[in-house]
Amino acid sequence: MIADVSPTLRPRANPAKALGDLIGEFAFEHHGTVAGVEMSGITVSTADVRPGDLFVAIRGARRHGAELAQAARENGAVAILTDPAGVALAEGAGLPIVVAPEPRAVLGAVSAWIYGNPGEGLTLFGVTGTNGKTSTVYFIEAILRQLGVVTGLSSTAERHIGGVETISGLTTPEASELQALLARMKEDAVTAVAIEVSAQALTRHRVDGTIFDVAGFTNLSHDHLDDYGDMRSYLEAKAQFFQPDRAKRAVISLDSEWADELIRLATIPLTTVSSRAGVDADWRVEVTDEEPRGVSFTLTARDGRTLSTIVPVIGRHMAANAGLAIAMLCEGGYEFDDIATAVERAGRIDVYLPGRSERISGDRGPSLFVDFGHSPDAFENTLAAVRTITQGKVIMVFGADGDRDASKRPAMSRAAVLGSDVLIVTDHHPRFEDPASIRAALLAAARETDPLHQILEVADPKQAIREAVKLAAEGDSILWAGPGHQNYRDIEGVHTAYSARHEARCALEEAGWL
């Protein structure tokens, strides 16, 4: 069930910790009286402050969090943790102030200490990579559930604690939220957790204070160069995950060109998996069938044992991600034969992937898929999967994020043209960027790729998907890439309620297909 609660989940009861003990544990400087002050939680957001919290005031892009110290106090904060520059800004609130040179750099360790090091005693699986993180953590969780394990999950789309689900914010939550989430999971008898770990989570300290049992790598391709500048720096950000202070063991997919370099940078025991023919990997994934409702594959383990099953989502890359998930589970201590028995008993990996090649259409009319992919590699893989199961033409609808890595937009357009028969360029999250200029860049690259390709510009995505459905017939397929599971559009900083899945269903209903 979907819980109608804040996505910031905390333990229901957390033993209070003395502020003086925190200062002693981390050798922090402090200002003000700390005697008798006790903390029961920690947060970086004034909106999330609860009575008894330590408020961590971090310098932001536009203002310093210490400017909000009075608001934090009014909401129940009992102390402030900030940097030297924040002390003068926060002292007017009258709370004791703890000082650290870089509060974000200690946030994970401090949060873990306040919540009693909740990662200890849980089996933690973390997945990083440009694409495939979400599907892999969902596959891990689904198989664990089929094994009878009480599970937790943290993904771009959702957070799960057993059967309770909430909507996510960041791909990987802030360190304070992650430690609170793990503490709540442990409180609710969870024993194994699958977590998406983004590059930003590693370089911005969101997973500090946590050591994963198994780290998984899906792939690396063009994305986030607005943050990292070049592919080498992006890889090095990911490589931080494969060190002893982050994880105990690793499973690395060899399906992308940067995998060999990642292996050279990793300093923990690792094993490899691949779905590519002729690649020497410890685990092998072989796709045996593809159809609109899923892909069948056989996984061969290092010792030669095999497992054959189905994932209910299209794409060879999904089979590769499922193979990675199974290899990670085995590295985490679960038995291959038990996994094989569980998935064979069900006849498939019993998983639902929100907004990942999600089939919205019914048994009649064109097949319509909504996907979260927003990189050239994601477009290429998903369009190839759609093409494989399509008898007629492939129609693609997509836009690009504003105020994000603009260097990937031409490659996105090229992949879209090369993989489709009809292309419709629309708006997505313009943020503070002019949406017309985003579309113009996408259209120019698309027309340069193939001047004869059928390319339409429909600014309003609600109308774009309806135009796609009008152009489609029985046996055709439509891929709407970008929005996936998201329930809003970001327009000039305002999150406007919006669901691509809902609009896709409405378009099919209006056309008489549902």
Q: How do residues 312-364 score in pLDDT, each as one tens digit?
A: 999 999 999 999 999 999 999 999 999 999 999 999 999 999 888 899 999 89
Q: Are strands 283-291 and 270-274 parallel, antiparallel or unpaired?
A: parallel
In a domain, 63, yes or no: yes
pLDDT band, residue 169 (cuts 50/70/90): low
Arithmetic mean of pLDDT, 17-21: 98
Arithmetic mean of pLDDT, 262-276: 98
Give the separation between CA 297 and CA 286, rounded to whole angstroms: 5
Higher-scoring residue by pLDDT: 483, 3? 483
In a domain, 265, yes or no: yes
Q: Give me the domain span that covers residue 42.
A: 17-114
CATH of the domain at 54: 3.40.1390.10
DSSP string, 211-229: -EEEEEE----S--HHHHS
CA torsion sign, 489 to 498 to 375 to 264?
A: positive
Arithmetic mean of pLDDT, 207-216: 97
Instruction: Looking at the structure, tell me whether residues 383 and 472 fall in a common domain.
Output: yes
- pLDDT score of 137: 98
Instruction: Looking at the structure, tell me whether residues 172 and 69 fall in a common domain.
Output: no
Tokens of 463: 């109308």
Instruction: Looking at the structure, tell me whether residues 308 and 341 fall in a common domain.
Output: yes
**pLDDT at 170 > cutoff 70:** no
Query: In a 3-state reduction of DSSP, which class is residue 144?
Result: helix
- pLDDT score of 222: 73
- Cα angle for residues 371, 375, 381 (degrees, 5° grid): 65
Instruction: Looking at the structure, tell me whether residues 329 and 371 fall in a common domain.
Output: no
Number of domains in the chain: 3
In a domain, 55, yes or no: yes
- Domain boundary among the residues 294, 323, 346 is at 346
pLDDT band, residue 40 (cuts 50/70/90): very high
**pLDDT, mean over the chain:** 94
- Model pTM score: 0.91
- Domain boundary among the residues 86, 114, 142 is at 114
CATH of the domain at 165: 3.40.1190.10
Instruction: Looking at the structure, tell me whether residues 317 and 369 fall in a common domain.
Output: no
- pLDDT score of 6: 46
Instruction: Looking at the structure, tell me whether residues 180 and 245 fall in a common domain.
Output: yes
In a domain, 481, yes or no: yes
pLDDT digits (tens, 9 = 90+) for 53-88: 999 999 998 899 999 999 999 999 999 999 999 999
Instruction: Looking at the structure, tell me whether residues 176 and 38 fall in a common domain.
Output: no
pLDDT band, residue 168 (cuts 50/70/90): confident
**pLDDT at 2 > cutoff 80:** no
- pLDDT score of 269: 98
Instruction: Looking at the structure, tell me whether residues 132 and 213 fall in a common domain.
Output: yes
CATH of the domain at 424: 3.90.190.20
Give the separation between CA 128 and CA 175, rounded to whole angstroms: 16
Among residues 218, 219, 215, which one has the least CA distance to residue 331?
Answer: 215
Element (H, E) at 273: strand 270-274
Residue type, 117: N
In a domain, 214, yes or no: yes
Instruction: Looking at the structure, tell me whether residues 309 and 373 fall in a common domain.
Output: no
In a domain, 330, yes or no: yes
Instruction: Looking at the structure, tell me whether residues 277 and 171 fall in a common domain.
Output: yes
The total number of residues shown for the chain amounts to 514
- Long-range own/partner contacts, residues 505-512 (CB < 8 A, 24 or more apart): 505/360, 507/368, 507/465, 507/466, 507/468, 507/469, 508/360, 508/361, 508/362, 508/365, 508/368, 508/469, 510/466, 510/469, 511/365, 511/469, 511/470, 512/365
Instruction: Looking at the structure, tell me whether residues 283 and 368 fall in a common domain.
Output: no
Percent of the chain having pLDDT more than 90?
Answer: 87
Whose structure tokens read 């203002």?
63
Instruction: Looking at the structure, tell me whether residues 73 and 205 fall in a common domain.
Output: no
Arithmetic mean of pLDDT, 136-162: 96
SS (H, E, C) 35-56: CCCEECEEECCHHHCCCCEEEE
In a domain, 281, yes or no: yes
- Domain boundary among the residues 69, 87, 114 is at 114
In a domain, 379, yes or no: yes
Phi then psi for 14, rounded to 5 degrees? -135, 125
